[in-house]
């Protein structure tokens, strides 16, 4: 299993967010897996940190580091540049509370079900049957239905990229957020996902 840590330099929500979060994820990687862990970055400071841990360095291109680049674009670049094969586990730095035990459990779940791609799943706080698209002062149902009892709503969940696993051959069949109809989902409790300054404050509380 290869482990990939995306760590681009720019962040609109929190300046140099990945620099601030890098050690949280890096410290969860066992020493025995450092030789299988790839840090893909265009940030010289993060690259220096990654070298200290003994990680493999991938110099991320400017095109795959842009705001418009998708997760799939980035993954395709790393797989191609480093000639990766087999299964790959991607670990976003924005989940600093993720543990190695969770990663191992997700891998076991992936292998048990003979899957080719895996993401995580969380319970939704608001069911999509209660959500509307904005239409001026009016609204339009996101899902067309006439059900009034919540217990009649179909079960649903929110996708989460806390742990993402895929086989290198499957990447071409996945969408921009690296899932498709065959993706399986590993159940997790709601996780802190660092996106805005207030999230960092929660982490440090």
pLDDT digits (tens, 9 = 90+) for 106-148: 999 999 999 999 999 999 889 999 999 999 999 999 999 999 8
Written as six digits, the tokens of 165 are 């696993």
Domain count, the chain: 1
In the chain the first and final C-alpha atoms are separated, in Å, by 34
User: Is residue 142 included in any domain, yes or no?
Assistant: no
Tokens 């020493």 identify what position? 31
Q: What is the span of the domain harbouring residue 195?
A: 2-123+157-204
pTM for the full predicted model: 0.91
CB 37 within 8 A of CB 55: yes
Tell whether 139 is covered by a domain.
no
Residue 138 lies in a domain: no
Strands 56-59 and 37-41, bridge-based pairing: parallel
User: Over the stretch 55-74, which tens digit does the pLDDT of each residue have?
Assistant: 999 998 888 878 788 999 99
**CA-based torsion, 146, 150, 151, 153: positive or negative:** positive
Average pLDDT over residues 140-164: 93
- Which H or E run includes 111? helix 100-112
Q: What single DSSP character describes residue 177?
A: T
CATH number of the domain to which 181 belongs: 3.90.550.10
Q: For residues 13-35, b (16+ Cβ closer than 10 Å) or e, as one string?
A: ebeebbbbbbebbbebbeeebee
Distance CA 142, CA 93 (A): 31
User: Residue 64 has which token pair?
Assistant: 């795959």
Q: Is 25 among the domain residues?
A: yes
Assign 201 a pLDDT band (cuts: 50, 70, 90): confident
Q: Please indicate, yes or no, if residue 143 is contained in any of the structural domains.
A: no
**pLDDT, greater one: 103 or 204:** 103
Residue 89 has pLDDT above 90, yes or no: yes
- Round to whole Å and give the CA distance between 74 and 163: 16
Collapsed DSSP state (helix, strand, coil) of residue 17? helix
Percentage of residues in the chain having pLDDT higher than 70: 99
pLDDT category of residue 175 using cuts at 50, 70 and 90: very high
133 located within any domain: no
Average pLDDT on 91-112 reads 96
């Amino acid at each position: 299993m290869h482990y990939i840590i995306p760590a681009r330099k720019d962040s609109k929500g929190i300046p140099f967010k990945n620099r601030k979060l890098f050690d949280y994820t890096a410290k969860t990687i066992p020493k025995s897996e450092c030789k299988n862990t790839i840090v893909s970055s265009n940030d010289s400071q993060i690259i220096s940190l990654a070298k200290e841990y003994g990680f493999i360095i991938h110099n991320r291109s400017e095109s795959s580091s842009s705001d418009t680049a998708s997760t799939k674009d980035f993954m395709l670049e790393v797989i191609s540049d480093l000639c990766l094969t087999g299964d790959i586990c991607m670990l976003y730095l924005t989940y600093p509370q993720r543990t190695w035990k969770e990663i191992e459990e997700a891998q076991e779940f992936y292998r048990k079900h003979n899957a080719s791609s895996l993401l995580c799943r969380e319970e939704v706080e608001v069911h999509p049957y209660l959500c509307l698209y904005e239409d001026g002062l009016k609204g339009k149902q996101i899902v067309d239905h006439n059900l009034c009892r919540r217990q009649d709503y179909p079960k649903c969940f929110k996708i989460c990229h806390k742990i993402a696993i895929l086989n290198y051959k499957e990447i071409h069949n996945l969408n921009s957020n690296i899932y498709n109809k065959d993706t399986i989902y590993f159940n997790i409790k709601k996780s802190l996902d660092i996106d805005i300054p207030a999230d960092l404050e929660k982490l440090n509380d």
